[in-house]
Chains A and B, each alone.
Chain A
Amino acid sequence: MEPTSDNRLMEEVRDGKVERLAILFERHHVMLFNFFLRLTGNRSLSEDLVQDVFFRILKYRKTYQGQSKFTVWMYQIARNVHVDHLRKQKQEVPLDEQFEEPAVAETPPIERLSAEVDAALLKKALDRLPLRKREVLLLSRFQEMKYREIAELLGCDIGSIKSTIHRAVKELGKIYFELQGGTSP
């Protein structure tokens, strides 16, 4: 039997079967967690934000239209949650963040680069990418969203998403090579 689609499940949640949200949670919470983790670099904060997304899904379940893909709607909420968090953080002194994630150690010589260090470098490079580019790149590469869906999510045309992707990957490559201690090709 075909598994029930996300959209169908969310329609059921909207119509009162809120326990069906559990399936959507199981399907998407790890992805969402990784999305927030790449945006904030903070594990416990990312968990709070994921929880907040599902809370808002419940709160606003009656507004779900079902015209676009469920994940588009969900990431719209996720972006709002993140923006609200940034706004809140601006008012407080963001002193705490820097103590949570241990900084990447001095860059080792290239020949000793293990896969792990490599991944850490890439993460660090991602952190330095401007928010908009990082977001678009995360959505397409990690959240398995099509450019068309990202365009719908961000409310812009698909052409600008594609050029953002192009520029984002290019810039990421540049930062990555700089972090490696080399010069960009």
Chain B
Amino acid sequence: MKCEQTREKSADYLAGELDEKSLAEVRAHLADCPACREELEGLSAIWTKLGVLPKEQPSASLRSRFYEMLEAYKEGMEKERARLDLGRNLSRWLGRLMPRKPAYQIALSLVLIAAGLGSGYLLSVRSRSAARTEVAGLKGEVDDMRRIVAVSLLKQASPSERLMGVSWSAQLDRPGDEIIAALLDTLNQDPNVNVRLAAVDALYLFYNHPEVKDGLVRSLSGQTSPLVQLSLIDLLVEIRERRAVEALERLIQDHDLNPKVKKRAEMGLTQLS
């Protein structure tokens, strides 16, 4: 065996995957070739070291989040199934109403068309005035639905879905207390930095809401990520929130504070006072 072939076999040698014959050949070559011997010994040493690297354990929240997601998925599946069953039953029932003979089928469809045209005419006369109020009502309903979707997205396990929840919230005309609370909650609790950053941006849109300014000022002291701290400071300066002065002063006292954040906070203080 030559050096080249020995090198080709080294991966299998390390993994203990060589059959006896190849192993014997490799060993025979190593006995004659100090360069290959030294190289393979070096590789083996590192390979063995890698094996003793301790396995890290994830936090307990990973498991609970997984089971939450699994439950939510199962629930969704059951709802889907119920809907499908309903649809199937409905179409079976309608199918039974259909007459067998083609002539009767045509007659039935003509009757239905006539009925449809007639009632459509009647309705259009009556409802033109009602239409305007209905459109307004529908708009409200869409907003309500958006609100529900946004809140439930914010509670999802996957960060990308929570991000979507934040952007849905930002599209609302009147967010309402529930959304504001959910966004503030996301800003303070969400484990993912990107989601928290998006929450800051969304809250900026609603800073006129009474809860928001308070919540933002309070959140500043609880944030640990420099990125979120920076964008919170920017926002508070932007909306000229006087109550932020105290929170910024406290933040600057923190010795572990990231230097960039500290600089930005000091600048913010001069801008506010």
Contacts and interface: CB of A to CB of B under 8 A. Distances in A.
B70 A119 contact: no
A48 B47 contact: no
Given A147-B15, A169-B43, A176-B46, A30 B58 contact: yes
Contact of B42 (A96, A123, A140, A173): A173
A169 B39 CA distance: 11
A52 B191 contact: no
Given A30-B57, A48-B159, A119-B53, A173 B46 contact: yes
Interface string B52-66: 111111110111011
Contacts of B258: 99
A33 interface: yes
Given A43-B58, A51-B65, A122 B53 contact: yes
A10 interface: no
A51 B191 contact: no
A163 B4 CA distance: 11
A92 B194 contact: yes
B69 A51 contact: yes
A25 B11 CA distance: 30
A21 interface: yes
Interface of B: 7-8, 10-12, 14-15, 17, 38-39, 42-43, 45-47, 49-59, 61-63, 65-67, 69-70, 73-74, 77, 157-160, 191-194, 225-227, 258
30 contacts: A16-B77, A18-B73, A19-B74, A22-B67, A22-B70, A25-B70, A29-B63, A29-B66, A34-B55, A37-B56, A46-B58, A47-B59, A51-B158, A52-B159, A55-B158, A96-B225, A96-B227, A119-B54, A142-B53, A147-B17, A161-B11, A163-B11, A166-B7, A169-B46, A169-B47, A170-B39, A170-B43, A172-B50, A173-B42, A173-B46
Given A122-B50, A147-B12, 4 more contacts: A30-B57, A46-B58, A47-B62, A165-B10
Interface of A: 16, 18-19, 21-22, 25, 29-30, 33-34, 37, 43-44, 46-48, 50-52, 54-55, 58, 88, 92-93, 95-96, 99, 115, 118-119, 122-123, 137, 140-142, 146-147, 159, 161-163, 165-166, 169-170, 172-173, 176, 185
